[in-house]
Amino acid sequence: MEKVKVGIVGTGYTIGIALPHVMAYKDNPNVEMVALYDEVKGKAKKWAKDNKIEDVIICESYDELLESVDAISICTPNNTHAELSLKALENGVHVLCEKPISTDSVEAKKMVEAAEKYPELVNMTGFCYRGIPAIKYMKSIIDEGKIGKIYACNHQLGGGRIAGKENVMLEWRMRKETSGTGALADFGSHMLDLTDYLLSDTEGKISEVTSLINTCIKERNVIGGKGKAPVTNDDTAAFAVKLKEGAVSTFLSSRVGLSAHNWEIIGEGGILIYFGDDNKIKMLLKDKDESFAFDKSPEIIDVPEEFKVKSRFHEQNDEFISNVMSGQKSKRDFKRGLYIQELLDTLAESTETGNAIKL
């Protein structure tokens, strides 16, 4: 097969996710990065210049982009994912869509139904954190039974870019109509996917959820306008789940500050910790029938070379391109995106009702 011609839809307003997609594609010898499109006129051209992206077509319309490519990455606001994905599939284009798959499960189901109509096309949801070498290594340790039955987990993920009250404008991700939930979906989608990815084979699926959310910064300066307007979704979320076999996990998702991505998994035979270094983990093992020793701390361990990749986006996008070329289906497909979206919708319901919800 000739090189896969790839395009990017949506170049972003501030921290847009398009650049790591482009860098991953440019490093793939089986890809020809050919086109960019953003609905805001002039934005894609300026973005390409600012990021020194050369030899690409700056498309004037989405139709023009679809005519130019074999596959796309959709890096646009969440409320546009369904419409853009459906049109791409209808035009014979493979789709890698950023997470969360949509703003709610109703729209996500439309994407799954469309994908089922075109089984010859690859559909994939951007759960790139699976590609982190340390997390892949942790999964192998769990699957081998080294830490035994999982008892509990604590997972936190987020950032502080939008913690500023005046310098950060009212972006699409801060509006419920364009983003859906905020921090809950933004970072929670990754954490839920990782929890199921690492633990469902041994501990079963998520069987119960509960959630609390808050909007700490309640209004923002309007982009291109005067004055302020309300932020209509959450910037912090604390939630918890229980798995079928009894393991429980707590989560903190924050847009207003967090020290590091940290994930602690506690089992009958030890503790595994991802502490933000993609190529190292902390591990403490013990006899499964004994207590933890007071004088022992988790040891920092290098991830074996077999798990290492250039970046989590390289791992994700390389899989996407490999699937396009081979016809193989991704486990991170739209159905997977729908499953995570249904969990997010249930967590949002828990927030509204104040009750834990059994699935």
Separation CA 190–CA 109 (nearest Å): 19
| Whether residues 111 and 246 fall in one domain | no
**Residue 225 confidence (pLDDT):** 80
Q: What is the CATH number of the domain that holds 264?
A: 3.30.360.10
Integer CA distances (angstroms), 15 to 11, 166, 172, 295, in order: 9, 17, 12, 44
The identity of residue 124, as a single letter, is: M
Pairing assessment for the beta strands 94-98 and 123-126 based on DSSP bridges:
parallel
How many residues are given for the chain? 359
Residues 6 or more apart in contact with residue 179 via CB below 8 angstroms:
77, 78, 79, 103, 172, 173, 185, 186, 233
Please tell me whether residues 135 and 117 are part of one structural domain: no
Cα 177 to Cα 105: distance, rounded to the nearest angstrom: 14
Rounded Cα distance between 284 and 280, Å, is 13
Q: Nearest CA to 337 among 173, 76, 124, 20? A: 124
Gap between the terminal Cα atoms of the chain = 44
250 shares a domain with 185: yes
Distance CA 358, CA 356 (A): 7
The residue behind tokens 């793939």 is 28
For residue 347, the model assigns a pLDDT of 98
**Domain identity same for 186 and 199:** yes
Q: Are 190 and 287 found together in one domain?
A: yes
Q: Does residue 194 share a domain with residue 56? A: no
Q: Which two tokens stand for residue 80?
A: 């546009």
Judgement on whether residues 97 and 231 belong to the same structural domain of the protein: no
Q: Which domain holds residue 107?
A: 4-128+314-332
Looking at the fold, whether 162 and 257 belong to one and the same domain comes out as: yes
Task: State the Rg of the chain over Cα.
Answer: 21
pTM for this model (two decimals): 0.97
Residues 63 and 198 in one domain: no
Contact 281, 271 (CB under 8 A): no
Q: Are 331 and 82 in contact (CB under 8 A)?
A: no
Same domain, 33 and 177: no
Pair 41, 123 in one domain? yes
Determine phi and psi for 4, rounding to 5 degrees. Answer: -80, 125
Q: How many CB atoms lie within 10 A of CB 227?
A: 7
* 56 closest CA partner among 35, 41, 83: 35
Looking up residue 9, the CATH number of its domain turns out to be: 3.40.50.720
Same domain for 107 and 152, yes or no, is no
Please give the chain's pLDDT, 359 residues, in tens. Answer: 699 999 999 998 767 799 999 999 999 999 999 999 999 999 999 999 999 999 999 999 999 999 999 999 999 999 999 999 999 999 999 999 999 999 999 999 999 999 999 999 999 999 999 999 999 999 999 999 999 999 999 999 999 999 999 999 999 999 999 999 999 999 999 999 999 999 999 999 999 999 999 999 999 999 888 899 999 999 999 999 999 999 999 999 999 999 999 999 999 999 999 999 999 999 999 999 999 998 999 999 999 999 999 999 999 999 999 999 999 999 999 999 999 999 999 999 999 999 999 99
Q: Are 209 and 356 in contact (CB under 8 A)?
A: yes
**Angle, CA 286 vertex, CA 285 and CA 287 arms, to 5°:** 140
Using CB atoms within 10 A of its CB, is residue 277 exposed (0-12), middle (13-18) or buried (19+)?
A: middle
What separation in angstroms does the CA of 127 have from each of 146, 225, 332, 355, 359? 26, 34, 7, 28, 23
Domain count, the chain: 2
Relative to beta strand 248-254, strand 262-267 is: unpaired
| Contact of 63 with 93, CB cutoff 8 Å | no
**Confidence (pLDDT) at 12:** 81
